[in-house]
């Protein structure tokens, strides 16, 4: 996050970052619909203090 604040405009800096394994299909493609469902399930994420 510190790198982002130093190198990017303020409107580009993400409010939070979540690290998890990405759900993939058998062919290795990311299952975006599952990512959207997880994001909706998480709701608002607190702003990182990094």
Position 24 scores a pLDDT of 94
In a domain, residue 48? The reply is: no
The answer as to whether 19 is a domain residue is yes
Can you give the pLDDT at residue 46?
65
* 30 within some domain: yes
Q: Residue 18 falls within a domain, yes or no?
A: yes
What total number of domains does the chain contain?
A: 1
pLDDT tens string 11-49:
999 888 888 899 999 999 999 999 989 888 888 666 656
Residue 33 lies in a domain: yes
Classify residue 47: in a domain, yes or no. Answer: no
What are the beta bridge partners of residue 24?
30
Of the candidates 19, 11, 13, 12, the one whose C-alpha atom is nearest the C-alpha of residue 2 is: 13
User: Residue 24: helix, strand or coil by DSSP?
Assistant: strand
Q: In the structure encoding, which two tokens stand for residue 28, read together?
A: 């290795």
Domain that holds residue 34: 2-42
Q: Is residue 49 part of a domain?
A: no
């Amino acid at each position: 996050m510190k790198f982002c604040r130093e190198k990017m405009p303020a409107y580009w800096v993400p409010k939070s970052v979540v690290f998890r394994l990405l759900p993939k299909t058998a062919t290795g493609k990311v299952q975006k619909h599952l990512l959207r469902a997880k994001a909706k399930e998480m709701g608002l994420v607190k702003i990182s203090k990094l």
